[in-house]
Structure 1
């Protein structure tokens, strides 16, 4: 049995021992020569009941923060022998919650169970923890007075010279000590869980900065490839997929892959004239050295990147652990457009783009379920505008909310996501012209590349009133979260007083509508989503010294106040099995 299965068994056995001790106390009170033991067992009964209360509280404290239904929570505590304690996902959550305390908790729980079993045998209780003179009938305990009298007058009692009250007392004391130890472990784990989680996430901020730098570097490489007039005479478009990423374990090398869907800008030609239609590729970047690659060593302190690393010179200074150059036999790509002409029927290495100190390895990614000739691009604005109001599911909302928050964290200060982005910048690639686009579909941000506009982000908008925001990019995230909550574009919720004299939105309309709607967001959403939205709209992260994501402290507060709450909501509905 796992430590948590045993915890359930112990939780179920303790009240049965309490009942047995009560039966002993009552039985001893009826026998004159045994009356001296009555007070002892009454005291043991009180002590054991107190211990059971403490143990029950530790189980509640362990289970309370988990995303489980009220029915499951009740069953775990009131029917501890049920199979719920064997649930693999529950055990994973509990193990993660205890952290490094898990193994000591498991050992202590097994030891507690062993001692409870020893007490059961010492008291001559059955496997179901009933004294010999008690039987269970239809959930009721029936006492056989004659059998009880016979028990206390038995040879067992005479041989022992009476009941081993001292042995029982000593064993109960040891059981209470184990219960207190387990309770302390759970309390400490509960108190340390939040700061431990926050500390780890803060340490992971350098991981997000690494991703940001990779994304910017790949954009510059695309721009270098396609900024000169291409032989195809068309403008190219790179769609970067927004993924929910998890920082890798400290002891493993960082491998950051980006998924791109490459095509031609829709405004520069028809499908009949372009040399290829859609190409789905993955790109993984490596710092190149003739002798080694250096990767991040395990972090030992909370530290954030404070400067923008050189994109074309050497590896960042914090990359200080050496590994071998990965094997990559594909050739260097000198003409990216020409390389993409031949479609790949299976995933394969296409080659690498050389960027002085960096190599960007390209792999084809074959989409077997999509007919590429029918793919089209729709924006998040188009999707929510075409949906019936309120038709966005909780899962869709939580999935996209986290992706958008991570996009801001990973793509700020890059051409992929401008400071004044909005729902028109977030796009979906779909082959369903008639069916509503699901927000579960992969979402993208895009840039166009041509000699005239190397790396221009799609759907640039005027900043207008957003310039009044402390951080326009984070305010834009707040607007997007409001739009997902209401299932419609923000300006469609504008009141006449928030428009100009002609009834048209002006520079202040968006700020006014967002400030009004965010006050009601708590009535529409659960706390995590509501607070994250409010913090974005008001740009209030509890850090008044700077409002730029380039600032270490502000970036950490953004992770803590926005990303982590949305991540908790996401994991609640997309729990890994």
Structure 2
């Protein structure tokens, strides 16, 4: 039984003890020689009720941001309910408690032991109810009541509960006070490692596409999703546990004589007890691939084609390229951009999925800034999903690049940076977050905008420094708040206004990246985390798609 589940048991047990004490109080009031001692039982019930409220308040604080606000009260009202055994909630509670988890469990056990002491001294059954059957006479009940009203019988147990309760309060207060700093420190280290890994993937991929048709290849990197819980602050271990997926596509307009196929590959190596096996140990018997296009035209003899390597790394990083194991084929699977989904106007995914997509995309800005995988101004045309059997799969979010010349991919033909005095990358993220939540292209938010601004970047017509831009932005933010909630609206507003209280508004600046995480990424991650869809770390390997 987890420490969190034990808390639920305690919240359900204390009221039972209080009920038994009140029963003894009523008995004492009916017996002349015990009436004066009824006050003792009343004081005991009052003390236990106070400790019950303190423990409930502690739990409510602990659960803030872990479960939806409207679910906290029902959870506390049903202490033996299934939510107390929910693995996701339990793991997230442990993340919040961090290295004090064991101390928390010990204090909870102290309260549990004190309640058991009270159970014995009050002569209660295992279900915390008074042992009063039809055969129990008044003399026996008198004896039980006389023992129960003795102050010395319960004072130590109540003090033990009160002491543990106070320590729980102090422990949690300290954790919450340091939570933001710990997360920002962890996030900073994580971003650095993710950039190294994703650069290595890109460096390994680029020389493996020497064919004349290289310009037709789109490569999509699955944005890494952190696991639900990161108790262990070992950043390197956390990154090693992540799965990195890459899809490799041929554009049909340039490859009319071939099927439009997307292949996927991932970093070689298996995870065992959190340790990454050296890729070269697994790949020594397989060939290094110098031409992926040629390799994909042949069926391999085993589940793996071979590997590609980043020679610039020390030691060189190797990545396995696997034969697709999915039952899907190019006729039933396609890659589809977010912009295409928005233009096609299908029904939006559930709100919980939109929150999750937004959190993953927002995290990519500090994580992958400066790498070839995301452009300076990330837009819906750069975000991809896999469409299976005609239905978009929102499980994993991809960003796209073309390895032959990444700088050319992001040329929009319009230099709008000079017309905007804040960070264009952050503003573009804000626009993208708007589109994700409302599930519309930014040019479809208003009836008259598409005709007026169809060729104008959003950075220009949503520039809040202009009267028209301020009016348009304000109207969208109001709709965003209605659809996605106040936290989501605040994150978008910080992006559009770039009001992060930093002297240097550049993602190359560590202080600015920390501010982006604090004001934008972390709130979106918290909102997604408490949504009904769990944030998983992408254990599914995407193989053959199109």
TM-score, length-scaled by structure 1: 0.75
Contact 1:257 1:284 in 2 (8 A): no
Cα distance in structure 2, aligned partners of 1:448 and 1:5: 50
Deviation at 1:129, TM superposition (A): 4.2
Residues 1:41 and 2:24 aligned together:
no
- Superposed CA deviations along residues 469-526 of structure 1, whole A, max 9, x for unmatched, are 5221221111111112222111222475x799x7765463243244542254223321
Deviation at 1:530, TM superposition (A): 1.5
Residues 1:119 and 2:77 aligned together:
no
Q: Which has the higher helix share?
A: 2
Residues 1:541 and 2:496 aligned together:
no
Contact 1:9 1:81 in 2 (8 A): yes
Aligned length: 510
Q: Where do residues 151-230 of structure 1 align in structure 2 (5 Å cutoff)?
A: 151-152=141-142, 163=147, 166=150, 168-169=151-152, 171-193=154-176, 195-196=178-179, 198-226=181-209, 230=211
Return closer, same or farther for 1:424/1:345 CA change in 2, 3 Å cut-off.
farther
Contact 2:65 2:527 in 1 (8 A): no
Deviation at 1:439, TM superposition (A): 5.3
Cα distance in structure 2, aligned partners of 1:505 and 1:87: 49
Deviation at 1:326, TM superposition (A): 4.2
Aligned to 2:544: none
Deviation at 1:387, TM superposition (A): 1.2
TM-score, length-scaled by structure 2: 0.79
Aligned to 2:100: 101
- Superposed CA deviations along residues 109-160 of structure 1, whole A, max 9, x for unmatched, are 333333323333323344454545688xxxxxxxx9x9546632x5x79xxx
- Superposed CA deviations along residues 214-250 of structure 1, whole A, max 9, x for unmatched, are 3334434544454x6x3x5553414122333328851
Greater relative contact order, per chain length (Cα 8 Å cut-off, separation 6+): 2
Residues 1:239 and 2:219 aligned together:
yes
Contact 1:529 1:566 in 2 (8 A): yes
Unpaired runs of at least 5, structure 1 = 136-143, 286-320
Unpaired runs of at least 5, structure 2 = 270-274, 464-468, 537-546
- Superposed CA deviations along residues 271-307 of structure 1, whole A, max 9, x for unmatched, are 34x9x9543222469xxxxxxxxxxxxxxxxxxxxxx
Return closer, same or farther for 1:446/1:28 CA change in 2, 3 Å cut-off.
closer
> 3-state DSSP class of the match of 1:416?
coil
Cα distance in structure 1, aligned partners of 2:84 and 2:374: 46
Contact 2:111 2:160 in 1 (8 A): no
Aligned to 1:569: 527
Return closer, same or farther for 1:575/1:493 CA change in 2, 3 Å cut-off.
closer
Cα distance in structure 1, aligned partners of 2:254 and 2:60: 62
Aligned to 2:304: 348
* Structure 1 vs Structure 2 CA RMSD: 3.9
Deviation at 1:350, TM superposition (A): 0.9
Contact 1:208 1:410 in 2 (8 A): yes
Return closer, same or farther for 1:130/1:251 CA change in 2, 3 Å cut-off.
same
Q: Where do residues 546-561 of structure 1 align in structure 2 (5 Å cutoff)?
A: 546-561=504-519
Q: Where do residues 395-406 of structure 1 align in structure 2 (5 Å cutoff)?
A: 395-406=352-363
Q: Where do residues 276-355 of structure 1 align in structure 2 (5 Å cutoff)?
A: 277-283=261-267, 326-327=280-281, 328-329=283-284, 330-344=286-300, 347-348=303-304, 350-355=306-311
Return closer, same or farther for 1:263/1:50 CA change in 2, 3 Å cut-off.
closer
- Superposed CA deviations along residues 148-202 of structure 1, whole A, max 9, x for unmatched, are 46632x5x79xxxx64755x43533432332332343145225413632541343
Cα distance in structure 2, aligned partners of 1:405 and 1:499: 26
> 3-state DSSP class of the match of 1:235?
helix
Residues 1:528 and 2:484 aligned together:
no
